Amino acid sequence: MTYQNVAKLKSLFLREKLDPDEHYSNLSSFEKGEYEYYHADKGEFVWIKFETELKKHLERLISDLKVDIDNSVSLYSSNERNRYFKNILTTFDYIKDHQSKLFKLFPVCSFPSEEIKSYLSDKYNFHNSDKQATNSYFGIKPFVKKSDIEKIYDFLTDNDYINEDVISSEDFYSVLNDLETSKAIRFNCPTTIACKILNELQKLFNNFTPTSIEESARFISKGRAIIKAQNLYAVKSRTKNKSNKNYLIIENFFQEKFPL
């Protein structure tokens, strides 16, 4: 469920439905995939709406997911099943947080999340009331493994954004996860680059916000100052539409490793 994938589905749908010999109106609804034309046989105007087809597609996905959920009862232990359920709901929340354009254009995309939440609640009495992991300072998301954090550490040290002689892999993980730690990550790059890295890391946590980052005092600039929330906001705003070698390297890494 990404805007790009749904746009591809829309293009395929319209290619099949639109007759090049017909005259269509309401072309302003192109982005939503809505067209109207006069149906001579019916003697009335007829709408072609992609969102109707999209809902059918989502219903099929929901059906498949319910089968997987039911199968998990026999495949997993009780704890494993609950982690699986929580991972499903957390993933839905993550998609909604990071695909605002998709949900604004096609509100029906909220349907799978609502349907699965109800299904888990009604059939299995499962409620994901605590989205943030209780044993993680920033609320590391269930789909993120320790090995993922290690890959991030390797990426940052390989590109000299942090110095492995200053902070070890274990200390790096402790800063990002542990409720209490005496460690801090000191960056070995300009503050703007450090902030870009921290902004990209947000997708892996439930509470990795500019405010929580500053309040934690766990992230130190090359000049040995605590990285502030205003630094993070400024970088996010200033670099949104700009090309920069380091920004592109960082974005490409996180998009490849964590495509959601």
> What pLDDT, in 10s, does the model give residues 178-223?
998 999 999 999 999 999 999 999 989 988 999 999 999 999 999 9
- Domain presence at residue 136: no
Write out the residue range of the structural domain in which residue 119 sits.
53-124
Q: Is 255 helix (H, G, I), strand (E, B) or coil?
A: helix
192 in the same domain as 93: no
170 in the same domain as 106: no
Q: Which of 91, 64, 94, 69 is nearest to 80 (CA)?
A: 69
80 in the same domain as 97: yes
63 in the same domain as 31: no
- Domain presence at residue 64: yes
249 in the same domain as 205: yes
Parallel/antiparallel/unpaired status of strands 219-220 and 34-39: unpaired
- Domain presence at residue 135: no
57 in the same domain as 44: no
- Domain presence at residue 207: yes
Q: pTM here?
A: 0.50
63 in the same domain as 41: no
Please list the pLDDT of the chain residue by residue as tens digits (260 residues).
788 888 888 888 777 776 666 565 654 456 777 766 666 666 677 677 888 888 889 999 999 999 999 999 888 888 788 888 888 988 888 888 788 888 888 888 888 998 999 999 888 888 765 443 447 889 888 888 888 999 999 999 999 999 999 999 999 999 999 998 999 999 999 999 999 999 999 989 988 999 999 999 999 999 999 999 998 888 876 655 456 889 999 999 998 888 75
Query: What is the domain count for the chain?
Result: 3
30 in the same domain as 92: no
pLDDT digits (tens, 9 = 90+) for 156-165: 999 999 999 9
Q: How far apart are CA 222 and CA 161, in angstroms?
A: 10
